[in-house]
Amino acid sequence: MLQMIEETLTAALPGAAIRVADTTGGGDHFEVEITAPQFEGLSRIEQHRLVYDSLGDAVGREIHALALRTRTP
């Protein structure tokens, strides 16, 4: 799941620096840190929405919990 999250976000946000961690070891709770130029000019809510939209249906299914830290370069 870690690899799927990283690959999906890398494809959706080219040039982003992405770090994904499994916070519980169970494969369904994750923390993601993303620094992406695409976040420039977006509110924190809009940045998070972009990430959630990129991950699609996996959030709430395979991904039970997702903690996000988003930044601009």
According to the model, what pLDDT value does residue 31 have?
98
Full domain range(s) for residue 65: 2-71
The enclosing domain of 49 has a CATH number of 3.30.300.90
Q: What is the mean pLDDT of residues 31-38?
A: 98
Q: What is the pLDDT of residues 10-32, one digit of tens each?
A: 999 999 999 999 999 999 999 99
Average pLDDT in the chain: 96
The reported pLDDT for the residue numbered 49 is 97
Calpha distance 73→68 (Å, rounded)? 16
> What is the structure's pLDDT at 72?
96
**CB–CB of 67/31 below 8 Å?**
yes
Q: The whole model's pTM is what?
A: 0.91
71-16-20 Cα angle (round to 5): 80
Task: Look at the chain and report how many structural domains it folds into.
Answer: 1
